[in-house]
């Protein structure tokens, strides 16, 4: 999917409810090729229609 998005000139940005300290190590470890936005209070995900409640760790 990501190659198709890039081919069309798009960019994938993931939204995480985790702090940058938590996802940065995962990003480096898994060598992700897209940006990760930290959305600690769920505001961005909520406005995008992708947030359905609090997770246990939040």
Mean pLDDT, rounded, for 24-33:
71
What's the DSSP call for residue 9?
Answer: T
Model pTM score:
0.60
- Per-residue pLDDT, 55: 53
- Per-residue pLDDT, 53: 58
DSSP H helical ranges for 1-58: 2-7, 20-30, 43-47
Pick 34 or 24 by higher pLDDT. Answer: 34
CB 58 within 8 A of CB 18: no
């Amino acid at each position: 999917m990501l190659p198709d998005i890039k081919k069309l000139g798009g960019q994938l940005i993931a939204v995480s409810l985790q702090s940058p300290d938590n996802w940065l190590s995962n990003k480096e470890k898994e060598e992700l090729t897209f940006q990760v936005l930290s959305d600690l209070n769920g505001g961005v995900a909520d406005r995008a229609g992708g947030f359905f409640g609090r997770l246990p760790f939040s």
